[in-house]
Amino acid sequence: MVLPSPAIALTSFAARNWEPGEGGTRVTGISRDALVDACNGAVAEGAELVAGYAPFCKHLFLRNNSPTTCGFAPITDDNRVMLRSGYAARREGELPVLERWFEGVAPPVAAYLDVILYSHAQLVIEAQAFPDEVPDCDWGIVSVMGTLTPEEPPMPPITQLRNALGPDEGGSGVGIDPAAYARAARFWHTHAAVRKPRGLLTLQPSF
């Protein structure tokens, strides 16, 4: 099969979207290979790669025909008691950061899959700090988010802060845009990620 240009491939980092117990969107009912094929097929048919938070980041919105649900839900008076918080890192070697999420809340089925893409050049830069195999591609899938509309939910403020810290701390090196940060703070003040119960990171005191 000859892939269209730009060729899209899955990174190992994005594989967490298929793993049970992970926070955010868990992709169900569609395999990793099937999603990659759908992305390349959509691009071949003229689907737009929507600009992301930096030149190396793009979004591809696919209509969701799977049981995949949104990775977040609105905070209401009824579900506020289901909010949890704790320190977590997405992968070994990253700084653990404070996160907030729902446990025991059923998110809605996603109408779209927001496939987040990084350029091959950016994947190579980040692999220098967190060694990983970079797929042979023009764009690599780094995350998938279930959404209700074909638009990007604001990047969580803590993710923007991590990015500003740079690749050595698991970020991209892009500084904080105050307007984007304020927009994200407003959104995530009234929304939270949904995940299954999991153990929290235990930090050892340094004194």
- Sequence spans of domains, the chain: 8-153
Question: What's the predicted TM-score (pTM) here?
Answer: 0.74
In CATH terms, 8-153 corresponds, of 3.40.605.10, 2.40.50.140, 3.30.420.40, 3.30.2310.50, to 3.30.2310.50
pLDDT-derived band at 177 (thresholds 50, 70, 90) equals very high
Structure tokens at 109: 């089925």
The answer on pLDDT for 21 being more than 90 is no
| 150-178 core/surface letters (b: 16 or more CB in 10 A; e: else) | bebbbbbbebbebbbeebebbbbbbeeee
CA separation for the pair 55, 50 (Å, rounded) = 10
Segment 107-116 mean pLDDT: 94
Asked if 16 and 22 count as a contact pair (C-beta separation under 8 A), the reply is yes
The answer on pLDDT for 24 being more than 90 is no
